[in-house]
Amino acid sequence: MTNEYLLEVQNVHAGYIKDVDILQGVNFCVYPGELVTVIGPNGAGKSTLAKAIFGLLTPHTGTITFKGENITGLKPNQIVQRGMCYVPQIANVFPSLTVEENLEMGAFVRNAPLQPLKEKIFTMFPRLSDRRRQRAGTLSGGERQMLAMGKALMLEPSLLLLDEPSAALSPILVTQVFEQIKEINQGGTAIVLVEQNARKALEMAHRGYVLESGREAITGSGLELLNDPKVGELYLGTSKTR
């Protein structure tokens, strides 16, 4: 693994109301090809961190660097053009468009032929291939999540931000979505996974961050955090190390 960061967040303060910061000096980094999980209690700033990274929220102070370039304050469309995509928890597909049309919309800044890209996504998500002419609004929750990820992957990003991809899914679909996230990462795409399902997320993460009150409270490899007594007690529902 290279010593150069793909993404680096340094001392970022950010929030939705002036003078009220949810992120309070958070530091965070991702190496190329890495899968990094962000866990923590509700209100800790997990989704706020993802939005600040992707330009949906401008930090009050601090810097965000992507591929060696300072992207602090850039708009999402400018960040997409640099090779980063974001999949929000909700409203992440166009419900009135078909599955195939959604994928085409995902490649809106590309000049490359779309058919090979679409077939690549359909190979990765066979359920989407079966439903390519179906309107996205009629898909199940798990299928919509697959489509949202596939739409983002149409741009072949270097970094994919996933905000709570397992939210409101059945246990079987959660397992399927996590398997696909792992497959995407094994294909070379770096992933930031913001997730309430802490155990499953840490089990496949290279590294993890526990956020508390807008700061990184505990960091380490996925395995280290799984075996950390404090993490186990507070976030994994255990009272001792695994």
Q: Give the residue extent of every domain in the chain.
A: 7-235
Instruction: Put residue 55 in one of left, alpha, beta given phi > 0 → left and psi -120 to 50 → alpha.
Output: left
**Average pLDDT score over residue span 123-148:** 92
- pLDDT of 240 reads 47
Mean pLDDT rounded to a whole number for the chain: 91
pLDDT digits (tens, 9 = 90+) for 188-218: 999 999 998 899 999 999 999 999 988 888 9
Q: Is 234 left (phi over 0), alpha (psi -120 to 50) or beta?
A: alpha
Measure the CA–CA gap between 116 and 25, rounded to whole angstroms: 43
Instruction: Say if pTM beats, i.e. exceeds, 0.85.
Output: yes
- Higher pLDDT, residue 70 or 1: 70
Mean pLDDT computed over 113-125? 90
Choose among 169, 138, 228: nearest CA to 178.
169
Asked whether residue 12 carries a pLDDT value surpassing 80, the answer given is yes
211: left (phi over 0), alpha (psi -120 to 50) or beta: beta
Model pLDDT, residue 239 = 52
Q: Which whole number is the average pLDDT over 92-119?
A: 89
Is the model's pLDDT at 3 over the cut of 80? Answer: no
Q: Does domain 7-235 have CATH number 3.40.50.300?
A: yes
Percent share of the chain, pLDDT over 70: 96
Contacts of 68 (CB under 8 A, 6+ apart): 4
What does the buried/exposed string (b/e) look like for 138-165 if buried means 16 or more CB atoms within 10 Å of the residue's CB? ebeebbbbbbbbbbbbbbbbbbbbbbbb
Asked if the model's pLDDT at residue 2 lies above 70, the reply is no
